[in-house]
Chain A
């Protein structure tokens, strides 16, 4: 069974943001969705999350059709949004407990999972601190911990490393890869940073709302990388 099945999905705001996107992702895959700003990555994520209504095409998440089976689909999905989404006036544990409650975890299970995820993220000692006292990288790690509190089979991360320093970026990327490798979760990682694509990763390049490449990334100067680099070059030239 596939984790994500997207067929002919289009979406228009005032202009077309997605144009006939087809994408299938198998269970346990680590897929990088590579695209420039405004390429359609966030729109695609928002459709998968059910934050936008489907205008055209069909979408299946973990075998459940959207929007009809939205609840079943979202029950096993974790999201890290491009825009940080944390309550600055709550402590780390209060923020995480809120999310756990939204996914129906009992207080005991929530506390256990919070401790586990914070330990994994190296932030257990900040559990009682207000979120506003954390650095940008720590806040991002909290968001990742939050997205994994409930049983997650599909994790979607929308440019999770934007604005972070190199060690923080590496830590977050390593965590996502480990989740895929060790827990068998499917990860869709959206980025515009070519250096976040590793050899052998499946990279899907999206440009102006269309999927223009899909395949193993290969080495840094492989055809896929060269094509994306050309896009970046064109963008820079423009």
Chain B
């Protein structure tokens, strides 16, 4: 029985990788997006935005260095939404049915899909970190190793969020709305671009929103991991949010809601 489960997992990962390799523009887009933020936005803001010494940093850091974990989070956020988009696309194209008629439980199939999405995101993250290194952002070498589990967990949480979104988006055309109402607010109302104390100075309500935003905790988890530290609150919030998102997504996929509207249209 366990062989069936592992073969299924391997098959789903292989499919995601092959699809990723065949869509080269997706890889470049995922790389260019954070690089634009790093090279243009962060460089411009370096002179404007002063950062005091805050954990995990031991000394004052350049804004570019501060922003890198947030941009890793941005890659994962977009990857999570790509998972969602691809699920909606599969539903519209019919391939979703092929997945759902596998004899394995739906929650397991979704978990495989989720993990496959994150595995596909890992090369994107490290390619960006390599570019950032060339740009002069050089965290401790061990940080590149420590950050991997944090990226994995953050990616799973954001991927699970993507799966939940995919269960709620009825049509591919509605996905532009997801960009405006999910990705941008989640990214901007977080600690990806500014530290919490800065947000608090500007607007305490925004700081509260950012603290409640699970994306902030995913970013902080990655930020601390770069310096070989574990931030327990971020770990707990990221892990718990991921579990809640996954449970809700599995429930929605298992309750037959996902294909109901599509099938009703033909009935």
Binding site for B on A (CB under 8 A): 13-15, 17, 38, 40, 42-43, 46, 49-53, 70-75, 77, 79, 81-87, 89-90, 94, 97-106, 146
Contacts and interface: CB of A to CB of B under 8 A. Distances in A.
Closest 10 CB pairs of A and B: A101-B11, A104-B4, A85-B94, A13-B264, A53-B256, A102-B102, A75-B103, A83-B94, A17-B267, A71-B103
Contacts of A79: 97, 101
A18 B19 CA distance: 38
A99 B14 contact: no
Interface in B75-124: 93-105, 109
B91 to A, nearest CB: 10
B134 interface: no
Contacts of B23: 89
Given A17-B264, A89-B18, 17 more contacts: A13-B263, A13-B267, A38-B267, A43-B267, A49-B100, A51-B101, A51-B256, A52-B259, A53-B255, A74-B103, A75-B103, A81-B97, A85-B98, A89-B22, A94-B15, A106-B3, A106-B7
A119 B189 CA distance: 57
Nearest to B255: A53
Interface class of chain A by DSSP: loop
A74 B18 contact: no
Contacts, number: 112
Nearest to A130: B22
A188 B147 CA distance: 53
B19 A90 contact: yes
Given A13-B264, A53-B255, A97-B14, A103 B103 contact: yes
Nearest to A84: B94
Contacts of A71: 103-105
A98 B259 contact: no
Contacts of A46: 259, 263
